[in-house]
Amino acid sequence: MNTEQLKSKILDLLVKGRLTAKWRESHKDIESAEALLEKIRSEKEKRLNNGLIAKGKKPGAKVEIKEVSESDKPFEIPKSWKWVHIEDITVSVGNKSNQIQTKEILLRGEIPVISQGQGFIDGYSNEADKAITEIPLIMFGDHTRNVKYIDFPFIVGADGTKLMKPILCCEKFIYYLVLYAAKNLRSRGYARHYTLLRNELFPLPPLEEQKELARIAETLFAMADSAADSCSSLEDLGRKAKSKVLDLLVKGGLTAKWRAEHKDTESAEALLEKIRSEKEKRLNNGLIAKGKKPGAKVEIKEVSESDKPFEIPKSWKWVHIEDITVSVGNKSNQIQTKEILLRGEIPVISQGQGFIDGYSNEADKAITEIPLIMFGDHTRNVKYIDFPFIVGADGTKLMKPILCCEKFIYYLVLYAAKNLRSRGYARHYTLLRNELFPLPPLEEQKEISRIAEILLRKIDSLSETENSPVGEAE
């Protein structure tokens, strides 16, 4: 599995709606693709009659977007999407006045020069009057079928480039559509290919879904670039890609743009003080740490600069796992292995590799303080449990986060557990409790969890067979 094969798989999932199946379920009230398409048609008609496109057309000319017949549709797409041609949703940009000859290209200069070749930038020019500034846009190589997403002013370096500016759509998503189509166009050698591209059918989701698809695909492409070449199988790739997601998660890489747009959220420092206060309240009410005297204080020590393992966003804080969680459950919530049933009312979970060991009907033993995180003291396995259950064996450490996003804390523990040194079947929680964990503001925890859950699910889907269901299925 090389990078290009992986990217082709990602694009296939993208165009068939499988990257956002769950997203659609929770965003049913967004504007439809049909409504978007009518806005695009109206905008094209407006530009046409204002002389901004298709010069020579008469004032009052109408723009029509023909409905695609069922027999022409190449594959199944979500019901909320529409089929279109590329010229229904884009306008052509640039002309000969935006182009220079190959001999005029400089090694250094103010403005990049881009052509349809394999490399992204051919060189530079200082002829600012030739620059194309209607960006971002998509370049399609009429001879080469190469596709480029360009989001900065540039000059065209050769003939055979088709520049397309999407109308009222997410430009990055349309880029991925064209990239998918270009990879599947039949080759005509060095003859023209745009005539083939313009006849292709493209799936058009609602605008908000386009943005979500583009964001997911961009992240998956980045992981493909960093991991795929060293992988011998999809399973191997999946493991490495998941590790990459967790690495981005703990270092703030998944929400860099989100932070820039949400600077007024409550800080991690303020959250940490609320957690400290809540733990102190529970301590003095006898809910945790039995035997402590009333009036006992909870302290969260500041982490020294020299102890911090890597750089995190300034709005985050370093903590230990016991600063932000409480221990849940005891022997009264446990049954012996010989008591586990094949069928029953309540799942039994232990520190083993499998998620559920079996079942029990002893309802009085069930742990109901959920969701929580289970850490295998011997195995280092980590589980996120969001339903009542009974503990199936010794060696489980159950942690309930305080005033935090439980799924985010699960990802933190999962990351830490993967990096803990192995002590064989000896205990590992003593290592985990000494680890440092990055704590973002609460709202950012929720956003990180949402993004990570999507990405990890998509990574799992990449190893599905090519014949698995598409469209509404995930």
Report the chain (474 residues): mean pLDDT per 10 consecutive residues: 76 91 88 94 88 64 86 92 94 90 91 90 93 94 92 90 94 96 86 90 96 89 69 65 89 91 93 93 74 73 91 95 92 91 93 92 94 94 95 90 96 93 87 95 95 84 47 39
**pTM for the predicted model, two decimal places:** 0.64
Centroid of chain to Cα 255 = 10
The per-residue pLDDT for 460 is: 75
The per-residue pLDDT for 346 is: 94
The per-residue pLDDT for 433 is: 92
Q: What angle (nearest 5°) sits at the alpha carbon of residue 352, between those of residues 348 and 355?
A: 55
The per-residue pLDDT for 466 is: 36
Q: Is 237 exposed, middle or buried (0-12, 13-18, 19+ CB in 10 A)?
A: buried
Taken in order 291, 296, 297, 303, is the CA torsion positive or negative? negative
The per-residue pLDDT for 57 is: 59
